[in-house]
Amino acid sequence: MRIGICTVRLGIPNTFSLKDKRQVCSSLFSHIRQNFNVSVAEVSEQDSFRKSVVAIVAVNTSSKHLSKTLSKVVEFIEKDYRVMIEDYGVEII
């Protein structure tokens, strides 16, 4: 069994409160969960309304499949106009 972890640092430029940020993140997380069989959670920067660090986790028997899935998730996030990816990293365990 393999575990894939993708950590994404997001900039959320058009939010002016934590409520705005939660709406954007909640919507984005919901769409990611619907389109990919992964778990998503905000793991850092919870008190900042213009930044977020998100962890996306998937489990599979194939490292290749995990890399492909997490790459597609990153591409999906890049297409969302509400957020900007500042940095990301992928780790397969």
* Confidence at 82, pLDDT banded by 50, 70, 90: very high
Structure-derived torsion over alpha carbons of residues 43, 45, 50, 53, reported in degrees to the nearest 10? -30
Mean pLDDT of 9-37: 95
Residue 31 DSSP class? H
Residues 6+ apart with CB under 8 A from 23: none
Domain residues for 64? 2-92
The count of domains in the chain is: 1
By C-alpha distance, which of 23, 24, 32 is closest to 77? 32
Mean pLDDT of 68-89: 96
Question: The domain spanning residue 83 has which CATH number?
Answer: 3.30.70.1120
User: What value does the mean pLDDT take over residues 25-52?
Assistant: 95
pLDDT of residue 41: 97
pTM score, whole prediction = 0.91
User: Mind listing the pLDDT tens digit for each residue in 42-74?
Assistant: 999 999 999 999 999 999 999 999 999 999 999
